[in-house]
Structure 1
Amino acid sequence: MATRIPQEFIDEVTSKTNIVDVISKYVQLKKSGKNLFGLCPFHEERTPSFSVAEDKQIFHCFSCGRGGNVYKFIMEMENKTFPEAVIEVAQMGNISVPDQYEARNEQYQNSDSQTLLKMYSDAAKLYSHILMKTENGTPALKYLRNRDLEDDLIQTFGIGYAPNNNNLLLQFFKDRDISEEILRKSGLFAENQEGELFDRFRDRVMIPITDESGNIIAFSGRILDKEASTAKYLNSPETEIFNKGKTLFNLNNAKREIREKGNVILFEGFMDVISAYKAGVTNGVASMGTSLTDQQLYVLSRLTNKINVCYDGDDPGVEATYRALTQLTDERFNYGVISIPDKKDPDEYIRSEGPEKFQSLTNNGVQTPIAFILNYFKRNYNLNNEHDQLEFLNQSLQEIVKLQSPVEIDMYVGKVADEMHVSKDAINKELDSLRRQQEIQKPANNYKDVQQKTLEKTTSSVRQKYGRLEKSERFLLYWAINYPEIRINLKGNGFRFVHQNYQRIFDSLLSYVEQQDLNEEEINISDFMNLLTDDDKNLLAELEMMNMPEEYTDQEIDDYINNVKNSSLEDQLEEIQEQLKKAAMVGDNQLQLQLTQKLIDVRRILSN
């Protein structure tokens, strides 16, 4: 039975953790001023508005408003409770977690998503046990070992085996009282014509698919019998926890290496990713379909700006690579191609040439997209034939004209000139002519550019505008948090904020200071946040990220206090002015005189 995590352990984890190290596992951060910035992991954006303050150990997104400390980040990012987040952060920092603090969640939780996550985790454990520990799993284990997958790699990827049994998994969950509704929602089962459920995966090697946080959310089952008429791979259908357009296979394992190497390798299949991992190339992922979606590209853009495509070297693989390059047009990325020689797939190449050669290929054999495309075009033409030469030239120029770098343009013009045995000048004249044609045909506005500018405008202009009262409250609370004399003064005078969210944070601040005996010391913002609700954490992070001077003046503090105290009078002033307008509209002179006198009295009080 897990016990409650004591404050001493939380304090130890907090003191030994740098929020930048944790967030850098998920977001590509760059220094700008005293803080670090990156693309927000909680919403899509083109311009980085996600900020991390290392000195305060907090984060805040100026666009979507989320903010907090390292535990709040993990809770939001990985859908964890606070105790689970503390343990996760401790494990990231190699801090020993006593067994009694481990969050052992033996029972299924209430929400459908949590139940499905637990079901997939349990199913993976069952499939793994059958593969590694039972006679039923022997043929599948033999198949994997024939592909040079040793036990440690099998365990790293959680690979298992679903035996040829219609009801094994179904009975497993029925014994655990999982409802019929959840069983149907899970995607683990199909139904026959009578509406009866049966195991979706049978007689297949089971490869778990995880989300970015490492939670198992789906399976891909590979058939053992190559001669079978059924599909080679069977993937889970989409569910509440699995969206194939958002998911990248192996991203959880590859994140760190992607950041360190500065690029991600996009493979065609899951087994290619696993084989590459075995060969020491651990920055590989695979999509759930033939091309990357905008959502998958956004996830990758937080980690790197370089995508290298490494598909099979046979004719279908080359065709797939060409299609991928025509679809990968997102300007946030630079693209490359890793071509596998001798028409092999990555797994075949690794097994025949060895891991070192494959590592060398992925590090040193990256082609530019244009180099691959020109070679692709050349495959389709006989360059000894004049008609084919002109067709090849026309297609090649359509690609070269897209290049921006004069050096690249000159390089590839030279290559085409050498292929066709003509002068570079002649090809450059053709290129100039093509540019002029495209300028004439170019529409007044490029829709994609307009969309992008609109998005950037939206995400960069969401800073809220506050009236005089709320500005005063925000600044006053900021100074009260950072200077003990201000909070002592406010507390001693019985000061109250008008807006409840600011008052709530102030009350929590006084309670925190009293518990920690910190009246004369600086507040640890990250630690203080643990006492607040999620909304108040967001607000506190926003306040702490304000661009404020290092010192305050007594006059500005007095002005803020007076603005808050007089806010009720200002409300009265607005109400009287509104009543005066109505009295004038109906011609009630007596009421106008009365209201005018009230107006004068309230203004006199305010001026004093």
Structure 2
Amino acid sequence: MATRIPQEFIDEVTSKTNIVDVISKYVQLKESGKNLFGLCPFHEERTPSFSVAEDKQIFHCFSCGRGGNVYKFIMEMENKTFPEAVIEVAQMGNISVPDQYENQSTQYENSDSRTLLKMYSDAAKLYSHILTKTENGTAALKYLNGRDLGDDLIQTFDIGYAPNNNNLLLQFFKDRDISEDVLRKSGLFAENQEGELFDRFRDRVMIPITDESGNIIAFSGRILNKEASTAKYMNSPETPIFNKSKTLFNLNNAKKEIREKGNVILFEGFMDVISAYKAGVTNGVASMGTSLTDQQLYTLSRLTDKINVCYDGDDPGVEATYRALTQLTDERFTYGVISIPDKKDPDEYIRSEGAQRFQNLTNNGVQTPISFILNYFKRNYNLNNEHDQLEFLNQSLHEIVKLQSPVEVDMYVGRVADEMQVSKDSINKELDALRRQMAIQQPANNYKHVQQKALEQVTSSVRPKYDRLEKSERYLLYWAINFPEVRINLKGDGFKFVHQDYQRIFEKLLSYVEQEEIDDEINISDFMNVLDNNDKNLLAELEMMNMPDEYSDQEIDDYMTNIKNSGLETQLKEINQQLKKAALVGDSKLQMDLLKQLVDVRRTLSN
């Protein structure tokens, strides 16, 4: 059984960790004022509302309300417990973790999702062992080596082999007492007509698919026998832990390079990603056999604003590239195309031309989408035929008209004019006519877009409004947290907040200060470790308020007065309501009693 992680180790990890370094692995952060902002990783948004305060080592989303320290971020981002998050953060910072603490991170809670994660991890280890350590894996290992995938790359991607055996994996998990219900949910097994389970993957090279955090959540199995009638690739079905519309292959490995290079390369297949990685191009990902979804685009938008498409160079690959470009219309990104020469796929090009030439191609051979599209149109038409010329012109102008830069427009108008052997003036006249036509249609077509933009602007500016009482509580609690003399005065006065959320944090603050024997300012990030999730969110919100550096004694007195008087103001409202009821029933005696109470409360308030 793992040893409880001591506070001394947590303190060491905290002192050696910068929250910006950790969050930057997941979110593209940009400085704005004294804090850093980016798109929130916990919900979809267009306008960055996720803020990181480096000086306080905390984060807060002004939109969804999540907030906390570096451990809270990892806990929510990767669905980990607090001890697991401490270990994760330590490993990110290359901080040595004693074995007795590291084992803590492998303890799974009793939930289906954690059981499935453990099953996929164990299955990957089994497949890897079969590939590299047994005779059953010899043919698969020979196939991989024949594609220049050596031991290091096989280990990096946890590649394995599922032998041609109906119940090897099934028996493996039955021996571990995994229930029938979980086995069916896992996606690792199929069932026959009698309802009996059998291994879904057989005689296939197994490529694990991981989530953004590196947890194995699915497999892609490649058939070894090309002559077989079955599909070349088989992917896991969707399960409680695998949603193909949210998943990008290799994102966990590629995140760092995507941020550093400022772009992501979208490949067509998993083996292309692996081959590119082997060639030193490590910012590549692949989708799950479909075009990029909104969820996948949002995930990428937190890391970069540039997507380069690198599909196969043969005819189907060119068609797939064109389809991808027509679907990639998200305005958060700019797009490029990396065309593989000689109708080769990336893997073939790397093996024939070498890693260095492939790196040069990905770095220096990026086409603009319009350049690729004009070439694509040209492939489909005979420009010596007048009918084809006009069709080519019509399609080309509908792409050029979308361009915003006058220089780009002039450049591509000149290119089309050269292709058709006509003057640029005549092309420009056609382009002007198209613009006028589109301008007439634009109001109707653009209405929905304008409405959406207006809605986003309104919703992004909405901020919660607090009455005088709650404003006083929020500001007073902020000063009590950050200035010891304020909290000492409140404690000595026996002060209590009206709202329980603020009172609870205040009580936790006093307990934390006493237990840690703190006489000066507290460490906000460390204080968060003693709060529950909701209180962490609230504390982060308070700490992100735009407050001055110092307070005044009069300000503190006013806040305390407002809070203390709130009870009297509530009494006034209640007495006035009772007076109305007494008047309705004609109870003059009760009215006199209530009026006397009303005078007494007002006198107390005025004093």
Deviation of 1:511 after TM superposition, in Å, equals 1.5
Deviation of 1:585 after TM superposition, in Å, equals 5.2
Relative to 1, partners in 2 of residues 1:604 and 1:151: Cα closer, same or farther, differing over 3 Å?
A: same
Matched position secondary structure for 2:597: helix
Aligned: 1:550 with 2:549:
yes
CA distance in 2, matches of 1:484, 1:277: 53
Q: Deviations over 1:487-542 (max 9, x none)?
A: 000111111111222111111111221122212x1111011111111111111100
CA distance in 1, matches of 2:513, 2:192: 64
1:446 maps to 447
Letter in 1 for 2:564: K
Matched position secondary structure for 1:60: strand
Relative to 1, partners in 2 of residues 1:22 and 1:378: Cα closer, same or farther, differing over 3 Å?
A: same
Matched position secondary structure for 1:103: helix
CA contact (8 A) 1:476 1:557 kept: yes
Letter in 2 for 1:454: L
CA distance in 1, matches of 2:104, 2:600: 66
Matched position secondary structure for 1:245: coil
CA distance in 2, matches of 1:74, 1:139: 41
CA contact (8 A) 1:47 1:460 kept: no
Deviation of 1:302 after TM superposition, in Å, equals 0.2
Letter in 1 for 2:575: I
CA distance in 2, matches of 1:441, 1:589: 73
Aligned: 1:296 with 2:296:
yes
Letter in 2 for 1:573: L
1:475 maps to 475
Matched position secondary structure for 1:335: strand
2:573 maps to 574
1:244 maps to 244
1:524 maps to 523
Aligned: 1:536 with 2:538:
no
Letter in 1 for 2:6: P
Relative to 1, partners in 2 of residues 1:428 and 1:578: Cα closer, same or farther, differing over 3 Å?
A: farther
**Mean alpha-carbon deviation: is it higher for 575-584 or for 585-594?**
585-594
Letter in 1 for 2:541: E
Aligned: 1:263 with 2:254:
no
**Mean alpha-carbon deviation: is it higher for 423-432 or for 133-142?**
423-432
**Mean alpha-carbon deviation: is it higher for 72-81 or for 589-598?**
589-598
CA contact (8 A) 1:208 1:218 kept: yes
1:457 maps to 458
* Aligned pairs for 1:301-316 within 5 A: 301-316=301-316
CA distance in 2, matches of 1:452, 1:314: 40
**Mean alpha-carbon deviation: is it higher for 26-35 or for 98-107?**
98-107
CA contact (8 A) 1:250 1:284 kept: yes
Deviation of 1:450 after TM superposition, in Å, equals 2.2
Aligned: 1:418 with 2:404:
no
Deviation of 1:592 after TM superposition, in Å, equals 4.6
* Aligned pairs for 1:265-280 within 5 A: 265-280=265-280
Aligned: 1:77 with 2:77:
yes
Relative to 1, partners in 2 of residues 1:585 and 1:321: Cα closer, same or farther, differing over 3 Å?
A: farther
Letter in 1 for 2:540: A
CA contact (8 A) 1:370 1:399 kept: yes
2:196 maps to 196
CA distance in 2, matches of 1:106, 1:339: 44
Aligned: 1:598 with 2:587:
no
1:434 maps to 434
* Aligned pairs for 1:47-126 within 5 A: 47-104=47-104, 109-126=109-126
CA distance in 2, matches of 1:177, 1:355: 47
Relative to 1, partners in 2 of residues 1:40 and 1:456: Cα closer, same or farther, differing over 3 Å?
A: farther
CA distance in 1, matches of 2:182, 2:450: 44
Deviation of 1:70 after TM superposition, in Å, equals 0.5
CA distance in 2, matches of 1:106, 1:527: 24
Aligned: 1:156 with 2:156:
yes
CA contact (8 A) 1:250 1:285 kept: yes
Deviation of 1:558 after TM superposition, in Å, equals 0.8
Give % identity.
85
Letter in 2 for 1:544: E
Unaligned runs of 5+ in 2: none
Relative to 1, partners in 2 of residues 1:435 and 1:585: Cα closer, same or farther, differing over 3 Å?
A: farther
CA distance in 2, matches of 1:244, 1:371: 31
1:495 maps to 495
Number of residue equivalences: 606
CA distance in 2, matches of 1:580, 1:459: 44
TM-score normalised to structure 2 length: 0.98
Deviation of 1:385 after TM superposition, in Å, equals 1.2
1:44 maps to 44
Q: Deviations over 1:261-283 (max 9, x none)?
A: 00000000000000000000000
Aligned: 1:559 with 2:555:
no
CA distance in 1, matches of 2:576, 2:306: 61
Letter in 2 for 1:561: M
1:402 maps to 402
CA contact (8 A) 1:311 1:317 kept: yes
Deviation of 1:591 after TM superposition, in Å, equals 4.7
Deviation of 1:181 after TM superposition, in Å, equals 0.5
Deviation of 1:106 after TM superposition, in Å, equals 6.4
Deviation of 1:17 after TM superposition, in Å, equals 0.7
Unaligned runs of 5+ in 1: none
Once superposed, what is the RMSD of the aligned Cα atoms?
1.4
1:224 maps to 224
